[in-house]
Chain A
Amino acid sequence: MNRNPYSPHTDADRRDMLAAIGVSSVDDLLGAIPSDARRPALGLPQGMSEAEVQAHLASLAARNRPAGAGPFFLGGPVQRRYIPAAVPALAFRGEFLTAYTPYQPEISQGTLQSIFEYQSLLSELLAMDVVNSSMYEGASAVAEAALMAVRVTGRKRVVVATDVYFQYRETLRTYARGPELEIVEVPTRDLASSAAGVACLIVQHPDALGTLVDVRRIADAAHAAGALLVQVTEPHACALLEPPGKLGADIVVGEGQPLGIPMSFGGPYLGIIACRDALVRQMPGRIVGETRDANGMRGFVNTLQTREQHIRREKATSNICTNEAIAAIVASVYLALMGPEGLRAAARLGVERAHRLAERLAAVPGCGIGNDGAFFDRFLLTTPLGEEAVHAALRAEGIEGGGVAGRDGYTGRRGLIVQCTEMTTDAEMDALVRALGSTVAGAREKVTAR
């Protein structure tokens, strides 16, 4: 019996194949491998049956606490959203899921048209000219946007707002080690006055805390200084807020996970990157374009490939090859199913619940809302106790109380970043309000007792 259950070869097949090659064993084909290093003992466990693998993985999964297990207010770039049943049923069909990059367009139109539709849908949502076929995820997309701005402007200084997601700023700093860029972090309110001599200003709207930002003013300042404006955004917000293309953004980046992709502990996700027409030759990654076949039928191909590594090697706009194509298809199916009204409804539900919840939480003695202005579907909850103590107390009640702002380097911010979506229920909100109230009251009693 074969030791690899997916290996189709019988012993007779193997004998016939060896005979056709003219050798007596596979070892006769391994002569180039240093003999003293050949066939090392790996020390791996023995293989499992499918049922054993399923049981083993299920036992590991059971040691995690999924979002549905209790009140859940974590969010940020990664959001618990409703995923229509048809999304996985369609996007994860084997014909899409087990295809390679569409190098042969005649037999890859399913992938190619789906990606073209993704580019079209996102262009419409963001009001941008061009969207590429996907980047890895939000953080590396931000870094690639900065590299793109550096190529366009010939400048090596990048200014990023401190209220951009901390993972994005950290990743940007890592990428900057390569070309040795200067990365400067300033509060959002100081972005506009920091544009002199920079490649780009990077602003997030809504920002990491959910605050709405006047992007136009910052874009004008960037453009007056010959710099580009990079806006980090999120897809649901764009359904209700004036989109980046109308705010002066030159490059738009974001995390596409909320568009029907499971949270899955950090990935795989969908990096969104979009730009104006004039910048398309500096865009990283694959782009699908429309064309005709020899019979005049409409078809789609990977295009503008002279930007890419397989043609341009060290002169390419990026090294990206494998991307997140299936995630782009997931996002397309999601948007097709939701439609404009469905997307708006999901976004509105998050906004409505966040505002209702914020009002109730702010009524707890000593608590407040720490956003600098109006917020969208998440907010900064300030508390009279330390943010870590409150977070731990909520955790003890089985509540994921949100992100801890101080852990994440949002300069000067302390509190919990509380996210709402269409999945947030009244019962969850009641539980949070109740638990916060008793935590704060309990702390006061201790103080009073002393």
Chain B
Amino acid sequence: MRLPESGAATAAPALEPLLFELARDGRAGRHVRGAENADALIPAEFRRREPLRLPQLTEPQVVRHYMHLSEINYSVDTGMYPLGSCTMKYNPKVNDRVAALPGFAEIHPRQDDATVQGALALLWELEQLLVKVTGMDAVTLQPAAGAHAEFTAMLVFKAYHASRGDGGTRRRVIVPDSAHGTNPASAAMCGFEVTTVKSDARGNIDLDALKAALGPDVVGLMLTNPNTLGLFEERVRAVCDAVHAVGGLVYGDGANMNALLGLVRPGDLGLDCIHINVHKTFSTPHGGGGPGAGPLCVKERLRPFLPSPGIVREADGTFRRSSDDRPRSVGRVRSFFGSFGVLVRAYAYMRTLGDGGMVETSEDAILAANYLAARLRGRYELAYDRPCMHEFVLSAAAQKKKGAAALDIAKALIDEGFHPSSVYFPLIVPEAMMIEPTETEPKETLDAFADALLRIADRVDSDAASLHEAPLTAPLRRLDEVTAARHPVLRWKSPS
């Protein structure tokens, strides 16, 4: 067993001690100093009496600690990361560097417009690019992530219907059974009921079931297209028409927009709005869970309800924050203007790609996914047998019968040196393995990944039980998640 290199005692055998275990009272850096007597300026009754037991460390210790932790973390900088619907493409380094320019990183969101003209210009230009790519008319950059944009859109829908006098009667949101969990959760946060509609045998929304679910009490439909099966909705216009026929609105979940750049604009298909996960489609790093940004792009009729403020370009070429074009705004959904540092990266990426690069991105993403599907379909069941877009879903149901479930295959992929695909999602495919290679993996890597999955299929045939032990080569073996949930230990506690 690998021992902690620091020599610090840990509460259990561990890959790396906790900060608290590395600390000794009396150690300190000197990053700032002064004002030792300032406590006297605080009235005694407000002063902290509770001890402040933060760990006491020197900078060299802190550096080693995080270097060690970084070494036990898989990332897209270290290898292929084919999580379906997560679009783990390469994150260009120049985008990080420009976001850190003092002119961007060291401006305060409450500065006057005159002192932040470059930032406002960038955001305004980004809005124009998003309008062109989505075929929508107006944008709010405020939402911090995809789910936040969904919630924002549901509020916009609510305000729109209220403005037409039927806000009280429209209470139901339709969600396909292949949708991300955030869709129904966002609708519920807005006080709406959720009606789930099933998919048909080709992986589309079942149009008859949709029509049966529609009525005058419907707020709208939340549509992911391509859906989480990686399939383009074959009757998308008929779907939108049906929703519009009962006065409902169609929300586009843009999680899978990486399939559509320059190939089709959601605004041309009948959707009323769509959000963009710029941390997926536009390459901003996902940070181990965030930040993201979720700009929401809408058709003209929804513009008046967008969060405020927006950005206006004056006739003289200057920019200002304004709510003039959104008189019935739902309000702000967070402080300030969204994840600016993320939006800077997305803008840099979009300008790098330009017109031709956009199209090539989606073409290559689709090509890679179909290529992998072609290589794997003989050994794993393809859940829906038709050309996919940027991702596809395999079912390991046959492997499960032989004794190795999708989870075991995922863990075996770790021993093959790859991050596993998404598993057990979408919920409508048994033993689902959802694979999204993205456009930035070279063919050699795609082949190595396919070879690994084929080797694993061989192992399932010859010795399925051996997969239960996987992973064997990762920093840790499988973790006991049941005990973690039953007896939660959610922070370090002093052993004394």
Contacting residues of chain A (88-113) with chain B, CB-CB under 8 angstroms: 88-111, 113
Contact B491 A76 (CB under 8 A): no
User: For the complex, what is the distance from the CA of A301 to the CA of B478, rounded to whole Å?
Assistant: 10
Given A174-B333, A297-B15, A352-B35, A326-B108 contact (CB < 8 Å) = no
User: For the complex, what is the distance from the CA of A325 to the CA of B75, rounded to whole Å?
Assistant: 14
User: For the complex, what is the distance from the CA of A430 to the CA of B370, rounded to whole Å?
Assistant: 66
Contacting residues of chain B (336-391) with chain A, CB-CB under 8 angstroms: 336-342, 344, 347-348, 350-361, 363-364, 366-368, 370-371, 373-375, 386-389
Interface of B is mostly: loop
**Chain A residues closer than 8 Å to B127, beta-carbon distance:** none
| Contact of B368 (CB < 8 Å), options: A17, A243, A255 | A17
Contact B477 A294 (CB under 8 A): yes
A319 on interface, CB distance cutoff 8 Å: yes
Q: Which of A31, A179, A291 has the largest count of B CB atoms less than 10 A from its CB?
A: A291
Given A45-B355, A304-B485, A342-B31, A67-B108 contact (CB < 8 Å) = yes
- Nearest residue (CB) in B for A392 is B112
List the one stretch of B49-57, B206-214, B241-249, B296-304 in contact with chain A.
B49-57
Contact B375 A20 (CB under 8 A): yes
User: For the complex, what is the distance from the CA of A147 to the CA of B188, rounded to whole Å?
Assistant: 12
Contact A326 B291 (CB under 8 A): yes
What's the nearest-Cβ distance from chain A to residue B470, in Å? 9
A26 on interface, CB distance cutoff 8 Å: yes
**Chain B residues closer than 8 Å to A146, beta-carbon distance:** none
- Nearest residue (CB) in A for B277 is A322
Contacting residues of chain A (260-306) with chain B, CB-CB under 8 angstroms: 262-269, 280, 286-301, 303-306
**Chain B residues closer than 8 Å to A323, beta-carbon distance:** 145, 289-291
Contact A120 B18 (CB under 8 A): yes
Contact A265 B144 (CB under 8 A): no
**Chain B residues closer than 8 Å to A351, beta-carbon distance:** 35, 38, 41-42
Given A348-B38, A352-B41, A113-B422 contact (CB < 8 Å) = no
**Chain A residues closer than 8 Å to B231, beta-carbon distance:** 32
User: For the complex, what is the distance from the CA of A130 to the CA of B488, rounded to whole Å?
Assistant: 10
User: For the complex, what is the distance from the CA of A255 to the CA of B145, rounded to whole Å?
Assistant: 17
Contact B352 A84 (CB under 8 A): no
User: For the complex, what is the distance from the CA of A86 to the CA of B52, rounded to whole Å?
Assistant: 23
Q: Which of A6, A245, A322, A341 has the largest count of B CB atoms less than 10 A from its CB?
A: A322
**Chain B residues closer than 8 Å to A325, beta-carbon distance:** 287-290
A412 on interface, CB distance cutoff 8 Å: no
Contacting residues of chain B (277-326) with chain A, CB-CB under 8 angstroms: 277, 279, 283, 285-293, 307
Contacting residues of chain A (115-159) with chain B, CB-CB under 8 angstroms: 115-117, 119-121, 123-125, 127, 129-131, 133-134, 136-140, 147
Contacting residues of chain B (439-458) with chain A, CB-CB under 8 angstroms: 439-443
| Contact of A90 (CB < 8 Å), options: B67, B99, B264, B479 | B67
**Chain A residues closer than 8 Å to B47, beta-carbon distance:** 240-242
- Nearest residue (CB) in B for A9 is B364
| Contact of A268 (CB < 8 Å), options: B29, B291, B350, B439 | B291
| Contact of A289 (CB < 8 Å), options: B187, B283, B490 | B490
Contact B147 A57 (CB under 8 A): no
B250 on interface, CB distance cutoff 8 Å: no
**Chain B residues closer than 8 Å to A299, beta-carbon distance:** 15, 476, 479
User: For the complex, what is the distance from the CA of A38 to the CA of B355, rounded to whole Å?
Assistant: 15
Given A30-B263, A173-B331, A352-B35, A297-B14 contact (CB < 8 Å) = yes
B59 on interface, CB distance cutoff 8 Å: yes
List the one stretch of A196-204, A220-228, A309-317, A437-445 in contact with chain B.
A309-317
A366 on interface, CB distance cutoff 8 Å: no
Contact A138 B335 (CB under 8 A): yes
| Contact of A110 (CB < 8 Å), options: B72, B359, B474 | B72
- Nearest residue (CB) in A for B109 is A266
What's the nearest-Cβ distance from chain B to residue A448, in Å? 30
Contact B420 A33 (CB under 8 A): no
Contacting residues of chain B (458-476) with chain A, CB-CB under 8 angstroms: 471, 474-476
**Chain B residues closer than 8 Å to A80, beta-carbon distance:** 106, 108
User: For the complex, what is the distance from the CA of A14 to the CA of B80, rounded to whole Å?
Assistant: 19
Task: Count A/B pairs, Cβ under 8 Å.
Answer: 727
Given A109-B475, A313-B184, A139-B332 contact (CB < 8 Å) = yes
What's the nearest-Cβ distance from chain B to residue A64, in Å? 4
A371 on interface, CB distance cutoff 8 Å: no
B70 on interface, CB distance cutoff 8 Å: yes
User: For the complex, what is the distance from the CA of A319 to the CA of B172, rounded to whole Å?
Assistant: 17
**Chain A residues closer than 8 Å to B185, beta-carbon distance:** 309, 312-314, 316, 318-319
Contact B341 A291 (CB under 8 A): no
**Chain A residues closer than 8 Å to B15, beta-carbon distance:** 109, 113, 297-299
Number of A interface residues at 8 Å Cβ cutoff, please give it: 205
> Which size class do B's interface residues fall under?
35 or more
Given A106-B474, A324-B291, A239-B52 contact (CB < 8 Å) = yes
- Nearest residue (CB) in B for A29 is B387
- Nearest residue (CB) in A for B231 is A32
Contact A338 B29 (CB under 8 A): yes
**Chain A residues closer than 8 Å to B146, beta-carbon distance:** 321-322
Q: Which of A109, A173, A326 has the largest count of B CB atoms less than 10 A from its CB?
A: A109
Contact B118 A62 (CB under 8 A): yes
Contacting residues of chain B (96-116) with chain A, CB-CB under 8 angstroms: 96-112, 114-116
User: For the complex, what is the distance from the CA of A408 to the CA of B304, rounded to whole Å?
Assistant: 23
User: For the complex, what is the distance from the CA of A289 to the CA of B237, rounded to whole Å?
Assistant: 46
Contact B14 A298 (CB under 8 A): yes
B9 on interface, CB distance cutoff 8 Å: no
**Chain B residues closer than 8 Å to A339, beta-carbon distance:** 27-29, 54-57
What's the nearest-Cβ distance from chain A to residue B190, in Å? 4
| Contact of B190 (CB < 8 Å), options: A62, A103, A178 | A178
User: For the complex, what is the distance from the CA of A147 to the CA of B434, rounded to whole Å?
Assistant: 33
**Chain A residues closer than 8 Å to B335, beta-carbon distance:** 77-78, 137-139, 165, 167-168, 171, 255, 266-267, 269
What's the nearest-Cβ distance from chain B to residue A343, in Å? 7
Contact A293 B476 (CB under 8 A): yes
| Contact of B73 (CB < 8 Å), options: A18, A37, A108 | A108
**Chain A residues closer than 8 Å to B46, beta-carbon distance:** 212, 241-242, 374
| Contact of A40 (CB < 8 Å), options: B66, B135, B181, B237 | B135
Q: Which of A102, A165, A212, A340 has the largest count of B CB atoms less than 10 A from its CB?
A: A340
B428 on interface, CB distance cutoff 8 Å: no
Contact B55 A336 (CB under 8 A): yes
B489 on interface, CB distance cutoff 8 Å: yes
A346 on interface, CB distance cutoff 8 Å: yes
Contact B375 A265 (CB under 8 A): no
Contact A303 B155 (CB under 8 A): no
User: For the complex, what is the distance from the CA of A60 to the CA of B104, rounded to whole Å?
Assistant: 9
**Chain A residues closer than 8 Å to B148, beta-carbon distance:** 136, 140, 319-320
What's the nearest-Cβ distance from chain A to residue B159, in Å? 8
What's the nearest-Cβ distance from chain A to residue B219, in Å? 12
| Contact of A107 (CB < 8 Å), options: B62, B289, B475 | B475
Contact B62 A337 (CB under 8 A): yes
Given A74-B111, A321-B182, A298-B12 contact (CB < 8 Å) = yes
**Chain A residues closer than 8 Å to B106, beta-carbon distance:** 66-68, 80, 262-263
**Chain A residues closer than 8 Å to B30, beta-carbon distance:** 342
**Chain B residues closer than 8 Å to A23, beta-carbon distance:** 370, 387
- Nearest residue (CB) in A for B265 is A40
Q: Mark A400-417, 1 if CB is under 8 A from B, else 0.
A: 100100000000000000
User: 26 interchain pairs (CB within 8 A)?
Assistant: A8-B442, A40-B135, A40-B264, A40-B265, A44-B132, A86-B59, A97-B91, A100-B86, A100-B88, A100-B289, A113-B15, A116-B492, A138-B335, A147-B189, A265-B107, A267-B144, A267-B341, A287-B490, A292-B479, A303-B490, A318-B185, A319-B150, A322-B291, A333-B66, A336-B65, A341-B56
Given contacts A60-B122, A171-B335, A319-B186, 12 further A-B contacts (CB under 8 A): A9-B367, A26-B366, A39-B263, A62-B103, A64-B103, A96-B73, A113-B69, A127-B50, A238-B48, A268-B341, A338-B31, A342-B30
The 10 closest A-B pairs by CB, nearest first: A61-B103, A266-B336, A110-B73, A47-B354, A326-B287, A325-B289, A63-B118, A94-B77, A268-B291, A3-B356
